[in-house]
């Protein structure tokens, strides 16, 4: 997978601003029902807005935002 994706603040929990992340893994087997929607654990490398590596990140992302990444 390892593509870089940008998620808006409303589409991931719990952070502020946009999230730029190189997605390494989506745990499709561990959804969490929150606010009437399924959210999935995502692991990857967080990047700054100019592409500088910040570090590994685990985050919950709204399921409908992950559809393009496939399952």
Phi, psi (degrees; rounded to nearest 5) at 54: -95, -40
Do residues 5 and 23 touch, judged by C-beta distance below 8 A? yes
- For 29-71, the pLDDT digits (tens) are 999 999 899 999 999 999 998 999 999 999 999 999 998 776 6
Query: How remote is the C-alpha of 62 from its chain's centroid?
Result: 8
Taken as a whole, the chain contains a residue count of 71
- For 6-31, the pLDDT digits (tens) are 999 999 998 899 999 999 999 999 99
Q: Where are the domains of the chain?
A: 4-69
Q: What angle do CA 51, 43, 22 make, to 5 degrees?
A: 25
User: Counting Cβ atoms within 10 Å, is residue 17 exposed (0-12), middle (13-18) or buried (19+)?
Assistant: exposed
């Amino acid at each position: 997978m390892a593509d870089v994706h940008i998620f808006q603040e409303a589409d991931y929990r719990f952070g502020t601003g946009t999230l730029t992340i190189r997605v390494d893994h989506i745990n499709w087997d561990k959804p969490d029902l929150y606010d009437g929607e399924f959210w999935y654990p995502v692991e990857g490398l967080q990047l700054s807005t100019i592409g500088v590596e910040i570090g590994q990140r685990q985050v919950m992302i709204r399921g409908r935002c992950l559809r393009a990444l496939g399952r």
